[in-house]
Structure 1
Amino acid sequence: MIGKLMETVTIILLAARYSFAFCWRNSKIETVGRLSVSIFNTVIGYLSIQATGFIINGVQSSMGKTEISNDLIVPIAFLITVLLSGVVLGRFNWFYRSKWNQSLRYANQRELNDHRATLDVARFRSKEYDDLSKRIQELPWSWQTRIFFSEEMFNLFTTLVSFALFGASLLWYKPTYAFVLMVVALPMVVSEFKMVALWWDLFQELVPQHKKRSVLEKPYHSSNAFVQAIMFNQMPALRRDIDINVNSILEAYDCIRKINLQKEMVTHFIAMIGLCGVAIHAIWSTVVLNGEIGTLTIIMAASRTFQGNLESIVSLIAEQWNSAKGVILIEKDFLGLKPVLQTKYPVVPNFDIVPQIRFEHVDFAYPDTEKLVLEDVSFTIEPGSKVAIVGKSGHGKSTIQALLMRHYDPTSGTIYADKIDLRNIEPQVWSNVASALTQEYTVLERCIGAEIASSRLDQSINIEAVTASSRFANFDEVADSDPKGYESQIGVEFGGRDFSGGERQRLALARVHYRGTPILILDEPDARLDPESAQKVIDKVFELKDITVVMITHHVSRAERCDKVIVMQKGKVAEQGTHQELTALGGIYFSMCEKDKERLGTVETNPPKSPDSEDPD
């Protein structure tokens, strides 16, 4: 029991230190104001009871006299002053509390977002990050836990000050009463701290259940998932599964809640009996010994407040156990997350021309897994060339894109940019050399021009470059169709309009082109486009000069115009070479070409002949 008590106190103190530091660095004046006002308010409450007791004693001694004793004037004046001071301090308390809360809400979000910005893609997509995020989201106050815990710590601080003041008063008048109240409160303390451990253990145990529910609830929060759920009539089944999930969680908590109810009923009953015993003895002593009624009033008020404060302290500590753990979870674990990628010997490359990219015996397995998704991958991409990476889904094409962008580092092997190991170039620096249109992109609700230029937020908008990038992506016709042009708003939420999937993909392509990097990686750039728009976009891609383009595609017909084709199969480079060289081999690529032509209605009846084959005629 002593060990659990020490653990609880240690955790509360550590969380309180983190919370105070958070408040101090983000709202110093308001924090000092709240602390000062809280102390003065508590002292005023204490002094008002003392003054009331003195007044009652004065009234008792003046009974039967024709005029008010001069001894009453001072305590009455003091009580009035104290009460008026309480009114003034109450307004200041509201002022500081309101400003403190508002400042910290923004500061909390800023700190969390600033930390997320220091992480890399590998960490952001890691299981550790996902697990931590889910655990924090399921806390009583989620990501706002630091703010609400700090609020409770202010309440605890005020209660401790009150406990000290009224405890001292009780010790001054009747030390025995303080001892009795402390003894009868011990069962309550023991019970509360035992329950604390049970609550936290259950919370940890139920994390997988909470994660499962977050998946089931996605259609209620994501527009794409909502459309899919409506289309497949999933809502009734989802509601049933969510109810089953929630009911199992509630039942688990109810079991502990019932145990807690039984124990608290007994322990609080014992504490109240002790208080009643103190009150009865105080009244008996006053009557028998002809004591002062004012002193009795002070003792009664001090006893009740002392015990109430003791209960509040124990309850606050017990109830804030989860929040304290949550604060530590945010401050120590989440804000302690580091990027997965380490750049031990960082260099800032100064490429005079577009760099050559070289994969040398690259193996790769995603973090937290051992299965290789790339194995012994080697190829070279010459400066300014157009390279297609083709293959079936799940065979490593998009993984190569992620490695090219240095979202991950190879498990073994090396990727070179000219002669520089890509591990020695910071991802932020490399993003000025290579940019990518991935399959998972987001278009934010800005004006069209601002969204296209958002790939260079560090620079002012260049409207000529915006227009040029829009033409490159065949998006200019969309912008020109609106009277406001590039000032037109994206999204109905801000008074604009929604774009189709194809329009959004063209806008995303314009955005990545606007960045103007010498290496451009396009993962299925025409996946959502109609045939006419797709052809226009692909034509524009092949018109690019002095830019290396890596195109990841399922459409082999796009590869015909490339300088080099890399064929991926089961995470390995199955074939590589020019279109003509690979079709002449009559292998995997040739088979893919035939199927593509069959799909387009242009299939050839005979495979190409090997250069060494003989004409039968």
Structure 2
Amino acid sequence: MPVGPLLHLLRAQCGALKTATKLVWQSSPGWTIGRLILVVIQGILPLASLYLTKLIVDAVTVSVTDADKAPILNQALVLVGLYAGVMLITNLCIALSELINAAQRQRLTDYTQELLHTQAAALDLGYYEDPEYHDILERAEEEAPYRPVDILDNLVQIGENGISLLAMVGLLLSLHAGLIGVLFAAALPAMFVKMKFAQVFYRWERSRTSLERQADYLGWLLTSDSAAKEVRLYGLSRFFGQRFQQIRQRLYREKLKLVMRRFIWFAGTQLITSGVVFLAYAFIVYQTVQGTLKLGDLVLYHQAFQRGQGAMRAVLQGLAGLYEDNLFIENFREFLALKSRLPALVKPRSVPMPLQQGITLENVSFQYPKTTRQALRNVSLTIRPQETIALVGENGCGKTTLVKLLCRLYDPTEGRIALDGIDLRSFEITELHRHMSAVFQDYVQYHLTARENIGLGNIELSDEAAIKEAALRSGADTVIHQLPQGYQTVLGKWFEAGEELSGGQWQSIALARAFLRNSPIIILDEPTSALDPKAEYEVFQKFYQLTHNQTAILISHRLATVRMADCIYVMANGSIIEKGTHQELLRRGGTYAQLYETQAKNYR
């Protein structure tokens, strides 16, 4: 191999070793130290057993021609005893290695998953609008469960066999230095083939990430409870199943071609290896027949060469494995290298609470990543402290996008949003979020107990009375008291003894979660869409009564529920086209009045 590519491979191995050892050490320092000690011991033991074998064979050979066999027999028995002791230590080390290996593998896997989860939680929502991000995440999630364990196994393999190889090399040098060259010549071809195809498979798998995700999505449609009703009602299982199989068959055929190519290359290298090994064995036998070596030396050098060959192959395969791991773990490092578009501040401002001037939006525009369509255009409004405003308009007009910006889940493309005149981007995000609570249209149904579902609204609060008060405000308390275990009942059917709720009941739980936070700013995005009219009316009556000390933003398609808001903003095509109280907007006879009249007809 030319010097340039070889140096590139060596640099790649150094990078792989650095990343791998850092990951292993950080996950479990104690287990790593124990494993290093064991690796050294297990690397030396083969040399001890091999040398004892030579001494035993020599002793037995001498006893055949020596008349006084007693001293030689005693010597042989002592050697056999020592050999048995080495075997006992070897077996104990194997058992101990299994214990350390199991513990360290689990810690390493858990640590890698923790890194992945922490990174995912730190990234802003803008990434979820980017298909490339989902490809990166898919590759990282695919590698995380097993690739670190492969790294650990390869490091152990290199360590144990590397020590054994050094010992065998020392023995073989005493016979002929050329045998060392034979060891390398027998093992290097297979190593280069493995590295070559590691790159091939790496490039192929990266190019097929999107296709793999499509197959995963179809599998999810066929197995998830979210899609189960429509899949069965419309008879879609066969359609989705066929499309899934088409994708998997395509991936199978492409991968099989690569595997066959790799097999042909490996078969060729094995022919070369077999010829080289034959010459080495022939040389050792020739030296013995010529009388240069004793019978014990024949056994010693034969075993030394055989074990040296195995150790050399194992070390090079471990290095090639690390090279492959380095290629694939690059996917994991690529994910960890992503930076939030909402970076942490060095000197953040304190969030001004209670508000004195209120919330202002100044010429705010926004467009989601990877699209040219503007979701908001030059939106300006002011929400006074402890004021309740409502955002109304047809689907897609920008209402939900606006509240996402208010929560700083995204930053505006243009303009700014401020609290008491201070830009939201001047605050530390987690501190800002502590002063907000929200119920979105796609609220989460946590398959936990009813108490935990509500308690997640303020995980630092463990006050049972506050949890029940929040449930009373949302109407969830009535629902919960009908459950078999009350507040300790697991909600949803994913886990044992779980109880499923209706859409409206789940929504009341989500509302209770928001009320528990008792934050100065509360945002309700279609908070009662799944409730019946009577329950909705009761919730809003309580809401208006109990939020007089809070700044509230409501989004609702049901205009009757927002009529008591202090100010109503009507949105269309990402802009505010009307604002005023319910009565003011009706008198103007504009878009709001038309929408209200259209809805009112349905109740006459």
Is the structural similarity TM-score above 0.5? yes
Residue number in structure 1 paired with 2:573: 570
CA distance in 1, matches of 2:190, 2:110: 38
Equivalence for 1:615: none
Task: Map 1:216-295; keep pairs closer than 5 Å.
Answer: 216-289=218-291, 291-295=293-297
Aligned amino acid, residue 291 of structure 2: L
Match of 2:90 in 1: 86
State the 1:351 CA deviation.
1.9
Summarize the Cα distance change of 1:148–1:189 in structure 2 as closer, same or farther, 3 Å threshold: closer
Structure 2 residue 389 is matched with structure 1 residue 405: no
- The answer to whether the 8 A contact 1:395-1:570 is kept is yes
Whether the 8 Å contact between 2:136 and 2:335 is mirrored in structure 1 is yes
- Name which of 101, 113, 132 aligns with 1:97: 101
> The residue matched to 1:499 in structure 2 has which SS?
coil
**1:336 aligns to what?**
337
* Kept after mapping to 1: 8 A contact 2:57/2:296: yes
Question: Once superposed, which parts of structure 1, at least 4 consecutive aligned residues long, lie more than 6 Å away?
Answer: none
Alignment correspondent of 1:29: 30
Please, which runs of 5 or more residues in structure 2 have no aligned partner?
Answer: none
1:393-450 deviation line (CA, Å, top 9, x unaligned): 1121110010011101111101111221111112211112221101122132332123
Secondary structure in structure 2 of the residue aligned to 1:63: helix
Cα distance between partner residues in 2 of 1:394 and 1:9: 55
Select between 123-132 and 585-594 the one with higher mean Cα deviation: 123-132
Q: Return the match for 1:166 from 165, 168, 193.
A: 168
1:588 to 591, 599, 604: 591
Q: Percent identity?
A: 25
Q: Which stretch shows the higher mean deviation, 311-320 or 447-456?
A: 311-320
* 2:309 equivalent to 1:310: no
Equivalent residue letter for 1:206 = R
Cα deviation for residue 354 of structure 1 reads 6.6
- In structure 2, what is the Cα distance between the partners aligned to 1:442 and 1:354? 33
Residue ranges of structure 1 left out of the alignment (5+ in a row): 602-617
| Pairwise CA distance, 1:215 | 1.6
**Deviations 1:211-270 (Å, cap 9, x if unpaired)?**
211221222453212333223222211221111111111111111111111111011111
Matched residue type, 1:577? G
Q: Which amino acid aligns with 2:231?
A: A
Is the partner of 2:59 in helix, strand or coil?
A: helix
Instruction: Quote the Cα distance in structure 2 between the aligned partners of 1:113 and 1:186.
Output: 39
Distance 1:335 1:570, change over 3 A: same
Kindly tell me: are residues 574 and 501 of structure 1, through their superposed partners in 2, closer, same or farther at Cα, counting changes over 3 Å? same
Residue 428 of structure 1 is matched in structure 2 by: 430
Residues 54-104 of structure 1 deviation map (CA, whole Å, 9 limit, x = unaligned): 221222222122414265455434323322221222232222222222333
> Would you say 1:57 and 2:58 are equivalent positions?
yes
* Aligned partner letter, 1:272: S
Among 197, 200, 203, the alignment partner of 2:199 is 197
Structure 2 residue matching 1:315: 3-state secondary structure: helix
1:335 CA drift (Å) = 2.5
Question: Which of 363, 366, 387 is 1:364 aligned to?
Answer: 366
Match of 1:443 among 432, 445, 455: 445
Is contact 2:154-2:321 (8 Å) kept? no
Deviations 1:475-531 (A, max 9, x none): 121122235432333234142311121111110000011000111111111111122
Deviations 1:328-353 (A, max 9, x none): 332x3222333211354511123234
Higher mean displacement: 69-78 or 103-112: 69-78
Alignment check: 8 A CA contact 2:441 2:526 kept: yes
8 A contact 1:282–1:296 mirrored in 2: yes
Single out whichever of 80-89 and 506-515 deviates more from structure 2.
80-89
**TM-score, length-normalised on structure 1?**
0.91
In structure 2, relative to structure 1, the CA distance for the partners of 1:355 and 1:269 (3 Å cut) is farther
Please, what is the CA RMSD of the aligned residues?
Answer: 2.3
* Alpha-carbon distance between aligned partners in 1 of 2:276 and 2:166, rounded to the nearest angstrom: 20
- Deviation track 1:95-117 (CA, whole Å, cap 9, x = no partner) reads 22222223333333333333434
Aligned: 1:137 with 2:154:
no
SS at match of 1:56: helix
Contact 1:16-1:150 at 8 Å conserved across structures:
no
Q: Which digits, 9 at most, give the CA deviation of each residue in 1:271-295, with x for residues without a partner?
A: 0111122112211221133631111
Q: 1:259 to 1:156 in 2, by over 3 A?
A: same
Change (3 A) 1:53 1:513: same
Deviation at 1:309, TM superposition (A): 2.7
**1:480 aligned residue:** 481
Q: Distance in 2 between matches of 1:8 and 1:500?
A: 59
Aligned counterpart in structure 2 of residue 600 of structure 1, from 577, 587, 603: 603
Report the CA distance shift for 1:156/1:91 in structure 2 as closer, same or farther (over 3 A).
Answer: same
**Partner of residue 45, structure 1:** 46
Bigger CA drift: 356-365 or 65-74? 65-74
Instruction: Give secondary structure in 2 for the equivalent of 1:173.
Output: coil
Q: Secondary structure at the match of 1:11?
A: helix
**Pair 426,121 (structure 1): closer, same or farther in 2 beyond 3 Å:** farther
Instruction: Give the letter aligned to residue 537 of structure 2.
Output: Q
State the TM-score, normalizing by the size of structure 2.
0.93
TM-aligned CA distance change 1:193 to 1:479, over 3 Å: closer
Shift of 1:185: 3.9
1: distance between equivalents of 2:598 and 2:471?
33
Q: Is the 8 A contact 1:365 1:371 kept in 2?
A: yes
The 1-side partners of 2:46 and 2:344 are apart by 59
Q: What amino acid sits opposite 1:556 in the alignment?
A: L
Residue correspondences, number: 597
